[in-house]
Amino acid sequence: MFSRAVRPAVRAGSAAVTRTAPPNAANFATLREIEGRLKSIKNIEKITNTMKIVASTRLTRAQKAMDESRAYGKTSNTVFEQAETKPLEDSKTLFVVASSDKGLCGGIHSGLTKATRRLLAEYPNADIVILGEKAKAQLSRFASDKILLSFANVCKDIPTFADAQAVADQISLLPTDYSSVKVIYNSFINAQSYEATTLEAYSEEAITQSANISAFEIDDEALASLREYSLANNLFWAMAEGHACEISARRNAMENASKNAGEMINKFQILYNRQRQAAITGELVEIITGATASEDM
């Protein structure tokens, strides 16, 4: 009974072995196989190369948008730096993870997930809001109970302020009042490197209790608007910069993939040629041997 169950597995295993047999074991079958592999690798190279070109054309635009959004966000956050705003002690924190829906861009999403994981260890009672499917899939593996909201289809193209406003609106509708909203995003260092960083937006209470706020004249009514506005600004900054990082990482990933495919193509081409020659030589030997044998007769 047991042996019968095992036999098909053995047969399947032996089939796999013959497939991955060393290249010099057989001649004609592997020649075809190598040709097939070569063709498919060539196609893959074409695809990755096209993706790279698309990413590089999008990169300049994304980078420009990122520069503008960075200036905008920094201008908006100067006031909290000057007022020395800090989150309140022992209060709820909300993490907003600015990721996106698409993969094939290196460690962009897993970097964000790791950063979130580290921060979760620091703030165990924090809640999470996620932008983008990739980070959602990764984070729901170990913190699914903490995820309150998730958005798909954001950060697909260069984000607009309206996108950020819509997200900020949904966040402000959440029942809990968070004294600090930390936006986790990839900050762009240069074309090769990026780093998961946080931006912070504060609650009204945290703003009014900041150390240096007495230096400013402010209307109490304006405070609520300021809070929502600065949250939207931070989200916009994070989304724009995260988008630029993603595009640049995709460009790099696709460049590496094309390079690797090129190397593989070279290797397989040489292997293919060598085998072809060997096969021809073998045939020639057979013909000549046959001819000399029939001459002798």
Partner 1 sequence: MSSFRFARSALRARPSLFSAPVQRRGYAEAVADKIKLSLTLPHQTIYRSTGVTQVNIPAASGDMGVLANHVPSIEQLRPGLVEIVEEGGATKQYFLSGGFAVVQPDSQLSINAVEGYPLEDFSADAIRNQVAEAQKIASGSGSEQDIAEAKIELEVLETLQALVK
Which one of residues 229, 255, 260, 265 is an interface residue with partner 1 (CB under 8 A)?
A: 229
The verdict on 69 binding partner 1 (CB under 8 A) reads yes
The verdict on 76 binding partner 1 (CB under 8 A) reads yes
The verdict on 78 binding partner 1 (CB under 8 A) reads yes
Name the one range near partner 1 by CB under 8 A: 61-69, 91-99, 102-110, 189-197. Answer: 61-69
The sign of the torsion formed by the CA atoms of 156, 160, 162, 168 equals positive
Which one of residues 151, 185, 188, 236 is an interface residue with partner 1 (CB under 8 A)?
A: 236
Which one, 78 or 277, has the nearer CB to partner 1? 78
Cβ 199 to partner 1 shortest distance, Å: 15
Interactions with partner 1, residue window 159-218 (CB under 8 A): 160-161, 164, 215-218
Cβ 73 to partner 1 shortest distance, Å: 9
Within 8 A by CB and 6+ apart from 106, the residues are: 249, 250, 252, 253
The sheet with strand 127-131 has its strands ordered as 147-151, 127-131, 93-98, 180-188, 194-202
Which one, 210 or 258, has the nearer CB to partner 1? 210
- Dihedral of CA atoms 26, 31, 36, 37 in degrees, nearest 10, equals 70
Q: How far apart are CA 239 and CA 100, in angstroms?
A: 9
Cα 247 to Cα 71, 98, 132, 139, distances in angstroms: 20, 14, 15, 22
The residues that bridge with 182 in the sheet, in sequence order, are 95, 200
Cβ 229 to partner 1 shortest distance, Å: 6
The verdict on 226 binding partner 1 (CB under 8 A) reads yes
Which one, 65 or 130, has the nearer CB to partner 1? 65
In the chain, the largest separation of any two C-alpha atoms, in whole Å, equals 116
Binding site for partner 1 (CB under 8 A): 65, 68-69, 71-72, 75-76, 78-79, 82, 160-161, 164, 215-219, 221-222, 225-226, 229, 233, 236
